[in-house]
């Protein structure tokens, strides 16, 4: 199980060390639902690389190939693409994330994933395509569920990540993660992942251990966005203030 901490508020790179100390495997750096910049994402990604965390960056929806290129060149080891509703969208995500012949990513030198050291093009292509350009597509709509088999079948897609809040809203059951309709949708994602040897991920459901046990043991979820920095700060602040008020 890859345990990811979402970062949408903290720009100080020391958040990577705190995440590592806490036992997380990855930072989920969120450029979709935040005001973080590409420069912030690069600083956080490089901090992760130095201490053995895996940096994934969620880009804004329909942000364009050039934006994704900057995120990858800045140190991300994988890109999270929100609102992927079709196999065509999944193939486009793979194309910009991979060097030829697997995709159309443009070549540059001295990348953070190579510690800024020069490397020959063939090495960059082989190693980056294999292990430093994960493609994580988010499943967040009814159409994505209808097309789930086709999306999961796309070569180069690594993870199908359920965006729980948007998916529940799209299904007409906002925030009702116990709804049979929502659970059946997750079961469809799980079946497609198993059939096509993809990793299933879950995001947006926090502090619900019973649900997470079901997701892990029954659905086979192997990538979990556990919480976000803003949520942890809010929870900790509320506990601290309540304790002081009770004195």
Strand partners, 4: 26, 225
Closest CA to 47 of 81, 6, 18, 73: 18
To the nearest 10°, report the CA torsion of 208, 212, 215, 221.
130
Region 142-153: what's the mean pLDDT?
98
Other beta carbons within 10 angstroms of residue 246's beta carbon come to 6
- What is the pLDDT, as a whole number, of residue 154? 98
Could you tell me the pLDDT band of residue 178, with boundaries at 50, 70 and 90? very high
Q: For residue range 111-120, list pLDDT tens digits in order.
A: 999 999 999 9
Q: How far apart are CA 222 and CA 201, in angstroms?
A: 6
Distance CA 138, CA 199 (A): 12
Active site residue 83: no
CA atoms within 13 A on the CB side of 29: 32
For the stretch 204-213, pLDDT in tens is 999 999 999 9
Per the residue annotation, which of 33, 61, 83, 212 is the catalytic one? 33
DSSP 137-190: EEE-SHHHHHTHHHHHTSTT--EEEEEHHHHHHHTT-TT-TT-HHHHHHHHHHH
Distance CA 173, CA 165 (A): 9
- Closest to 79 (Cα-Cα) out of 58, 98, 106, 100: 58
Q: Rounded to 5 degrees, what are φ and ψ at 92?
A: -65, -40
d(CA 202, CA 182): 13
For residue range 185-239, list pLDDT tens digits in order: 999 999 999 999 999 999 999 999 999 999 999 999 999 999 999 999 999 999 9
What does each C-alpha distance from 23 to 17, 35, 52, 124, 227 come to in angstroms? 10, 26, 11, 30, 13
Using the predicted structure, report yes or no on whether residue 109 has a pLDDT greater than 90: no
pLDDT per residue over 159-172, tens digit each?
999 999 999 999 99
Phi-psi region of 218 (alpha: psi -120 to 50; beta: other; left: phi over 0): alpha
Q: Identify the band that residue 175 occupies on the pLDDT scale cut at 50, 70 and 90.
A: very high
Read off φ and ψ for residue 224, nearest 5 degrees.
-130, 120
């Amino acid at each position: 199980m890859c345990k990811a901490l979402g970062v949408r508020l903290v720009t100080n790179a020391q958040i990577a060390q705190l995440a590592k100390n806490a036992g997380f495997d990855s930072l989920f750096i969120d450029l979709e639902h935040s005001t973080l910049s590409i420069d912030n994402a690069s600083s956080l990604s490089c901090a992760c690389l130095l201490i053995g965390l895996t940096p994934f960056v969620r880009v804004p929806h329909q942000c364009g190939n050039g934006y994704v290129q900057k995120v990858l060149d800045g140190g991300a080891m994988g890109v999270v693409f929100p609102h992927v509703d079709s196999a065509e969208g999944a193939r486009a995500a793979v194309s910009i994330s991979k060097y030829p012949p697997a995709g159309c990513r443009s070549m540059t030198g001295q990348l953070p994933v190579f510690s800024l050291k020069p490397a020959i093009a063939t090495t960059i292509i082989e190693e980056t395509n294999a292990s430093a350009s994960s493609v994580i597509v988010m499943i967040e709509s009814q159409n994505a569920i209808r097309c789930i088999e086709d999306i999961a079948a796309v070569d180069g897609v690594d993870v199908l990540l359920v965006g729980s809040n948007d998916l529940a809203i799209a299904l007409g059951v906002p925030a009702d993660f116990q709804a049979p309709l929502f659970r059946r949708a997750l079961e469809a994602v799980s079946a497609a992942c198993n059939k096509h040897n993809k990793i299933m991920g879950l995001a947006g459901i926090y502090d619900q251990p019973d649900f997470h046990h079901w997701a892990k043991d029954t659905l086979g979820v192997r990538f979990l966005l556990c919480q976000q920095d803003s949520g942890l700060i809010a929870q900790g602040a509320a506990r601290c203030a309540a304790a002081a008020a009770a004195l």
